[in-house]
Each structure stands twice: as C-alpha cells, then as structure tokens.
Chain A
C-alpha cells in the first residue's frame, strides 16, 4: 500500500459550508484522520442537496458528500457544557482545528485560540470566515457572492451592458478553502521546526482577492479602471472568447502564432490571411464586431470537438467548454484517472472530483461521506 503525506495527523473539522470543509477534505485526501464535529442538526450543506431522486436525506446530499468524503462524523452541541467538554477532550488529541464560526463566537464559549492553546500548545487553529477575524466587516454576513462583489472580480465579470456577474461554483469559498489548506500545511511545517502551533486567520475575500490578475494593478500603475467586457479580460489577446458552435461552445484563442495564416487555414479560407483583421491585432481588437462577422458563421456550422482538434493540429490553443456530462465522459480525464469513485451507502457509486494533482509517493485517496453522528460513540469514548 502506498504511503500518505499526512499519515498520523489528526484534524478536527468544526467548520460548516464549503470553505472549511473543503480544506479539511484536502487534508483527509492526503491521509490525515479527519473528525467532523457537527451540531446535532448537522452541517447545513446536508440540507442543500442535490439528492438522489430529489428526495431530501441529510446523509445523501451531493454537496455534502463532495466536501466531506473520508471524514468521521461526531455530533456535539457546543452550546452545552457537556458538548464543550467533549470537544476540549477531542482537541487534546488533535494537531489541527478548522472552524468557521462568526469571529469571536468560539472565544465567548471558552473555545478561542488562547484558551485552547493553553492545553494544546502545538495545535494549529485555523479560522476560515468570509472577511477574516478583524476589521470593520469581520462580523458581517458573507458568502461567495459577497466576496466576489467586494474583491472587484465581479465588477470585471460579465457583459458591459448588463449587471456584474458572479462566477458559478462558489469560487470565494473554494479559494478560501485552498488558502486555509496551504496555511495549515505551512503552520505544520513551522511547527516541525519550532514545536509550536498558532492561530491562522483566513479570509475568503482576501483569498479571492489574491487571484486578481491585474485589475487593481491597472489602477495603481495606470490610473485606468477596468470594466467587464464579455470573456475578454486580457484585452490585447482578442479573440480569447467563448463562441457558440454547432453543437455547443468553443473557446477561440489565437495564441502567439495563430494569426493570420493558421486561423485562415482553420476557417478554410486562405484569402483571410491577407485580411487586415487577421493581420493586425489592434485593428481586430477594436473592430471586433467586423471580425466576428467572419468567425461566427463558420463556427455555427462546425462541432466543438472537430474545431478543437483541427485547431490544436495547427498549434492554435483552442479549448473545450466542458460541462458535468462531458467531464464525466471525457477520455483525457479518464486516462489520467482524475475522478475518484466512492460507494456512498444509499446513493450508490458516485464520482469524486478528484485527483487535482498526482504525487508519485503519496497518492490522494477518497472515501464516502459519513452519516450524521455515525462515529459519535466511538470517537468520544476513545477521547475520554
């Protein structure tokens, strides 16, 4: 059996939602033992679905299963003395705590970093919240949409004549989860050198803000305020845009060497090589409507896979617009073994996304998500 990177590490996942649980799942995928501590009614993602056959069941919520594979589930009511005492006993055995309560809430319950670290100085205590532990918005309510709004990324996403658009898939939560994961690993390395743990304060807003390509930089360096402009965020590379084609959509990217000749060949009209819109990038960028009068009719008559394969043969970096159905059927991802598969009691075999990187010595591993409170008796008994 292959080794795992984080074998021997114990994580208490007190968080709910997406960011904290995804961080804890990534630690679990790497081999850490993850104990999810839930309130008696369970993590709220247990109620969000999707559910098999649309029949609500807290143990078969698709989002919950996606975010909580391989964990054990313990239910504790930390509003009560006995619940808090049981959590303290668990923390006395733990290396990492992930929590996502409103800042200050756990301190009020006597479970803040300082109180917990007294008994367990090596603990890495990671708080993941929308806006972080300090600052004027610390206790504001937040979600991925609010973080997209405040980060500036939403303002630059979407069509110029419409309202700003939020990226799908709750991106601030996943970015927050990733930054929490990176920070916990960094804190573990720090502990490896020094023996001491610490409090890590992760802000989903800032995790998303780190991703900004150069929008605030355009103001700081140029005084220019970017606006949303279709899928053309990097203006000087037009077209780098999603277009409809006969059976779906295709990403048309000219790349460094696509224009004028290769694109003319792809569109099966060699004359286009001499068209000024093919020869001059700035002309094409500014007179884009004219260029699209040439491009769109051709795409409308061809399928995305045909366009993709012929473009790539010509070394033009076109890309596919994948969806759940095409991702799950995709030959490339299958050959790479991207999706894991778990047998989820009651729901059957489900795909898990997945192997987001491959490590030669310590491969990631996936498991089903726990039923609510399935491990309460075992785990709390062992911690007594």
Chain B
C-alpha cells in the first residue's frame, strides 16, 4: 500500500546505534521507509541513557530519554541478542529479516558483520539486490580501519577543527559531535542514490562510509590553498576570509550576541546609516573592503560600542530591514521560541511517554508533493518484538521461548546493576551549572513551552 511517500514499501534493517547511523535511518523513516531498529538487551542504544525527563530516572527510564527520541522517531524496535554466545536463534532471525529487507544499515567496527556471517557477500546470497551501508569511524579499509572511534574524535580527524578556533588559539570542536549528523545525512543520500540505481538496473550494492572522510569537503577551500600555494590555514575566529567587517558582537544583557557580515561597500553604507554612525561611512580607514580588513580591530571596537547598547533581536531586525546581514546568536532555549522557526514548523510536538515535547526535524526541507510524518514517538525497547517476529511466522510458543532465554525482551540486561545505571543517567545539573557548562536551570520549562 502506498502512503504517498517516496520510500513507502521500502524496509530497512537498522543495526546502527547512537548518532550517525540513527540519523541516516531516521531520515529514511521520515521519507516513508519501514525501519526496524535492532538492539541487543545487553547492548541497547546508549542514547537511551541520555537526557531524562526532569532529570528523573525511575521505572523504565530507557524508554524516556530525550536523546533517543530525536533520532529514532517512527522506527520499530526489535530486541535481539545475535551475538555468538546466544546460539543461532538471533542470527537466524536477522537473516530472515534481511531476506525481506531492501536496505541493511550497520555501524559496527569493521569485520563484526563478517564474523556474524551477515556481511554484504553473505546477504546477497539470500537477497541478491540488497543495498547495504556500513558507517564506521574510519571506513572498512586502510591502516586506521580498526581504530576505536568516538564521534568526538572525528571532527578533528576530518581537518575541520584545524580551521575552527579563536585567532591565535588552539583548534576547537563544535558544540556537537559534528561528523555524526553530517555522516548520517551523507549516508541517507548514498542509500537514496543506490535506490535510484536499483530502480533503473535492478542491482543492489555495498556502501562503505567513513565518518572521518565525509566532512573533509568542508576544508575544501583550505585544501586548495595548500595545494596551490603551500599555505596552511590560520584560525580566524568569527572573521571572514573574504569580507570585512564580520564578527560576533556583544549586546545588551548577559551573554547576548549578534553576528554581522558586511559584504560590500553598499552594505557598509547601509550599516553606518542604520546604526546612526554616518561618519564611519566617510572614514578613510573603512573606505573599501581592503581597508576595512586592514583596520578590522579598530572597526570591531566601534561596532561593539554600538551593539552593547542594543537588544540582540531588535538590532538584527533593524539591520536586516536596512539590507545588512545580521543574526542574533540564540541560546538553545531561544531557538525553541524563535518566531521564524515556529512559523516554519521546525519543531514537531511529539507525544512521548511523558506527554508532548518539542523535537527538531531531521530533514531541513519541505516537499510540495508529500508531507513527512516526522512527529512520531521513538519506540519503547522491544515494543515491536511480537509483531515483527509473528510477521516472520514464529508462533506464540516460539516467541515465549525466546523471551525466556532472554534473546528478546523489554528490559536491558546490563552488566552494570540497574540501581547504578539509574544513578548514572541522572545528571548532576547543579555541579554542571557551577562549572559553567550550564546557564539557567528552569523548573517551569514545560509551562513556558506550553506542554504541561
């Protein structure tokens, strides 16, 4: 049955975890694919441990994590121990599911799939036109392929951190594991390209994605400069390689900022008029882009003198109305309340286990011919075990037997005792606040968001 979505009727077997892989498969789910997420009871997706509602970790906390919701909405959950220790049942079920799947996605260390007998070669025996994607830190080949890879290491390994940092300072990382979501989107595109090819030729294929590599193109301009001129890039903070002035300027209030870019002499004149400093427009030090670059420090001081007196949002609107590129630096709370993102419906209101919560989209596009079903709850651990296994023809007795032997289930079987895990997943928020890693902690956030 078609639901009008591009991937309706496509089934994805999702063996990925955490951030990159689940981003890829969440995009496929939003485009209409039936995504079966497989987790082991001894090895559930660790993001089920992060961001507990109201920081409370009672009962089945693993079904309530905010982090897990973000990238697993709309998927079905099957718990399955398919490790070698579990005997053959788990792997037999994976194989049967693969025979009915169009796409298999995995993010294990290289060789794990081969060891389990479900690598691409083996899968083509049971489903010749299967499309399989492996998403690992450093790819399936090369001397670093078996390196242990965490998302936090891959943005620097891609080269991106070498061009991120304050002037004269050390390399810095983005406030997210940048290459994870980036690789997730690349992975989704690679799978879609393989589907276009399969539609034309009937052939499946294997995709080897290295998270280190996906983000290297962001360094493209610096790579060209090195190849052409032998120059290594300098870190330039928030300035531009091309335009001046550009920067992040302080505004009225505490930790409020505004970014401004002036790209040509016309915008410069507009900027001077909008800020009431027409005199700057005739100041020889700032006459053209080249002189503004040369006198950037002096310019920054003048601009900050003006911004300090301004409300960040009002200044943004005033400058934009005058034709100047400016934007308020929003904190995560402000993003949830921004009028533009609200008008665009960027946050879905998802009915989670603990009532409605705003959850950002995972595709930054609107389609005129269909609407993505993005406002869907993430599955409880093992929520679809019975439905999926019955679909494979297993009887109630067989399913009960798997439950008794803990091959499937709905409670994690962690090596760490549950009371310890419960403590671990509650974060010491006031300590983080004292360190400076958190600003406000607002107990009435649900009231403010209108989701009580």
Chain A residues closer than 8 Å to B174, beta-carbon distance:
153, 157, 167, 171, 233
Of the listed stretches A235-243, A266-274, A373-381, chain B binds A235-243
Q: A178-B189, A193-B2 are in contact. Are A317 and B150 (CB under 8 A)?
A: yes
> Could you tell me the distance between the alpha carbons of A351 and B159 in the complex, rounded to whole angstroms?
15
CB distance from A348 to the nearest CB of B (A): 9
Given A181-B189, A192-B196, do A163 and B257 touch, yes or no (CB 8 Å)? yes
Chain A neighbourhood of B185, CB < 8 A: 175, 178-179, 182, 207, 210
Neighbour of A151 across the interface among B233, B335, B427, CB < 8 A: B335
On whether the beta carbons of A222 and B153 are closer than 8 Å, the reply is: no
Instruction: Please name all residues of chain A whose beta carbon is closer than 8 Å to the beta carbon of B241 when the two chains form the complex.
Output: 48
Complex-state Cα separation, A168 to B190, whole angstroms: 25
Does the CB pair B427–A324 fall under 8 Å? no
Q: Pick from A137, A197, A201, A232 the residue with the most CB of B within 10 Å.
A: A137
User: When A and B form their complex, which 8 residue pairs have the shortest distance between CB atoms, in order from nearest?
Assistant: A319-B153, A62-B224, A156-B175, A207-B364, A223-B445, A169-B218, A168-B163, A206-B364
Given A136-B340, A166-B259, A249-B171, A200–B328 Cβ distance below 8 Å? Answer: no
Chain A residues whose C-beta falls within 8 Å of the C-beta of B50 in the assembled complex:
214
Judge if B343 is at the interface, Cβ distance under 8 Å.
yes
Whether A154 contacts B219 in the complex (CB less than 8 A), given A53-B229, A234-B152, A324-B159, comes out as no
Which residues of A have CB within 8 Å of B248?
149, 154, 163-166
Residues of A close to B171: CB separation below 8 A:
242, 249, 321
A-chain residues with CB within 8 Å of residue B361 when the two chains form the complex: 206, 209-210
- Complex CA gap A13/B92 in Å reads 48
Q: Is the CB of B199 within 8 A of A189?
A: yes
Q: Is A219 an interface residue (CB 8 A)?
A: yes
Is A39 interfacial (CB 8 A cutoff)?
Answer: no
Determine the main DSSP class of A at the interface with B: mixed
Can you show 17 pairs from A to B with CB atoms below 8 A apart?
A52-B228, A156-B175, A182-B185, A182-B363, A182-B365, A198-B368, A206-B344, A209-B364, A213-B19, A216-B347, A233-B174, A235-B432, A317-B153, A319-B152, A324-B159, A336-B210, A357-B209
* B interface residue count range (under 10 / 10 to 19 / 20 to 34 / 35 or more): 35 or more
Beta-carbon contact of B332 and A216 below 8 Å: yes
Q: Which residues of B contact A327 (CB under 8 A)?
A: 159, 216, 219, 223
Q: Report the nearest B residue to A166, measured CB to CB.
A: B238
B108 contacts A by Cβ under 8 Å: no
Return chain B residues, CB-CB under 8 Å to A169.
Answer: 160, 163-164, 218-222
- Output the nearest chain A residue to B428 by Cβ-Cβ distance: A282
1/0 contact trace for B172-200 toward A, CB 8 Å?
11111110111001111110111111011
Cross-chain contact A215 with B176 (CB below 8 angstroms): yes
- List residues 328-357 of chain A with CB under 8 A from any CB of chain B: 328, 331-333, 335-336, 338, 347, 350-351, 353-357
Closest to B231 in A: A50
Q: Are A135 and B439 in contact (CB under 8 A)?
A: no
For the A-B complex with A183-B363, A200-B365 known, give 11 more contacts whose Cβ atoms are closer than 8 Å: A5-B196, A160-B437, A186-B6, A186-B31, A189-B192, A193-B8, A222-B51, A225-B331, A242-B170, A359-B194, A359-B205
Is A86 an interface position by the 8 A CB rule? no
B238 with A163: CB separation less than 8 A: yes
A240 surroundings in chain B (CB, below 8 A): 150, 152-153
B228 touches A50 (CB 8 A): yes
Contacts of B443 in A (CB 8 A): 223
